[in-house]
Amino acid sequence: MKPALFLALALLSPGPASQAAERPNILFIAIDDQNDWIGHLGGHPMAKTPHLDRLAARGTSFLNAHCNSPLCNSSRASLMFGLRPTTTGIYGLSPAPRQLPALKDRVALPQHFANHGYRTAATGKIYHAGTTAGGGKAGALPPEFQVTAPYGGVGTRPPRKLIGPTPMGNNPLMDWGVWPLDNDDTGKGDYQVASWTVEQIKSAPKDRPFFIAAGFFLPHVPCYATQKWFDLYPDDDSILPEILANDRDDTPRFSWYLHWELPEPRLAWLKEKNQWRNLVRSYLACTSFVDSQIGRLLDALEEAGVADNTIVVLWGDHGWHLGEKGITGKNTLWDRGTKVPLIFAGPGVKAGQRCSQPAELLDLYPTLVELAGVAKRDDLEGLSLAPQLKDAATRRERPAITSHNQGNHGIRSERWRYITYADGSEELYDLQADPREWTNLAGKAEHAAVIAEHRKWLPEPDRPPAPGSASRILTYDKESDEAVWEGKPVKRGDAIPQ
């Protein structure tokens, strides 16, 4: 080809910059400790979330989506780096992903989009320790996001805990109730997260697409909300979740080891201190408050004229118990501990769909890569959900898999939940007949084939905790039949902490 003709064709051909400009924007919304108490998900019949419900109506909502680890740091590390916790060994609140040699130079989700022409920005809780966790130190690594803001978290706090001392350490985060008292939400960290994100949407450059992440803290404890959000819910026992009094009688003792001694109070304490209703109402109030902030983001997309060219993905990092199975908090392998909201809307997503196929947070990385049309990666352990986003009835080739420390795994298919613990004990639930997981079927011979089918999906590798692991770490030695919870041995005869 003659040089002049080659130059002319090159000038007429779209280059990387113009290709990036044609790609869709991405609004990436995370909610901390948010279970399925969302209006359209039906996890709680009174939950009021009109903005999440309108987002779901615009796109596809996954009714059977699950975290890959029921804890903040490990769940978010898995999602952002595209690897299972059993691959990285990240199960606890430490280490941060970049502290591990194997992840030091790995391209995280937002970095992959930055490498393909996106302007990346974030505020609030995206990684466990914040939006910039582990990246950009002394210029040695690219930042996790190009632009960040130090907003988020609890916001204003009362001078002392509203509910008084709590068992197992009186952790300052274990608190809930009406705060602040003046009905002013502007001092709350999540309000500031929404405000900054709105400005980023409205001021985003027009010559390239954006990847903007907003991480909301609530309904994580302390569950503080102003009175107007409490007023959405009755102050009576009608808001309490339905529970079974002896629900733990047919679960293995090892199930307690996953949450052996935690700051989150047990149901028995909540009842004794008359705090169960207060906690449930606080959680619902905080959920509705965060919903209102998400509504501000959706309105900003419309006002900026970019709603039609923006992929919105909304996810929660894990579930949360509010009395079910006798506990509060996370760190379980039941649906209440693993099930999360997951919604996609925008280009490439069919509107008004409700998908019952199992999905994992691990799937977000490959899904967004495919929807945006950026270069695919062959080192991601999730599956793209693009087929389900086009047709919700499309079958997925594997169940959702959740792991909490080595040897403890939950396998969730469309109908069944199978759980196996490090000591070999098991649980099996038929979610069609028993949606609350009240009846463990694992000991019944007629279900042996179901268990065998689900066991095929146990993750490999299944690594021990990574170096530097701390907080909520459980190990088990089969030869001695000894478990160690956060460095302390647990014997079979030890009383379960209450």
pLDDT-based confidence at residue 21 (cuts at 50, 70, 90): confident
pLDDT at residue 6 tops 50? no
> Residue 245, exposed/middle/buried by CB under 10 A (0-12, 13-18, 19+)?
exposed
208: its two tokens: 């390239």
pLDDT at residue 138 tops 60? no
pTM of the entire structure? 0.95
pLDDT-based confidence at residue 390 (cuts at 50, 70, 90): very high
Strands 59-62 and 342-345, how do they pair? Answer: antiparallel
419-449 pLDDT tens trace: 999 999 999 999 999 999 999 999 999 999 9
Looking at residue 324, what is its pLDDT? 98
Question: What is the rounded CA–CA span in Å between residue 292 and residue 41?
Answer: 17
The structural domains of the chain, ordered by start, are 16-396 (3.40.720.10)
pLDDT-based confidence at residue 333 (cuts at 50, 70, 90): very high
* Mean per-residue pLDDT, 52-72: 98
pLDDT-based confidence at residue 471 (cuts at 50, 70, 90): very high
Question: What is the rounded CA–CA span in Å between residue 343 and residue 367?
Answer: 12
Q: Where are the beta strands (DSSP E) in 147-280?
A: 147-149, 176-178, 210-216, 223-225
Residue 374 is classified by DSSP as P
Looking at residue 116, what is its pLDDT? 97
**What value does the mean pLDDT of the chain take?**
94
pLDDT at residue 144 tops 90? yes
Among 40, 44, 51, 72, the one annotated catalytic: 72
CA-to-CA separations, 31 to 72, 324, 330, 420, in angstroms, rounded: 11, 21, 14, 28
Among 40, 116, 128, 220, the one annotated catalytic: 128
Looking at residue 236, what is its pLDDT? 98
Q: Is position 67 annotated as part of the catalytic site?
A: no
298-319 pLDDT tens trace: 999 999 999 999 999 999 999 9
Looking at residue 137, what is its pLDDT? 40
Question: What is the rounded CA–CA span in Å between residue 371 and residue 412?
Answer: 25
pLDDT at residue 4 tops 60? no
Residue 361 is classified by DSSP as G
Q: Is position 128 annotated as part of the catalytic site?
A: yes
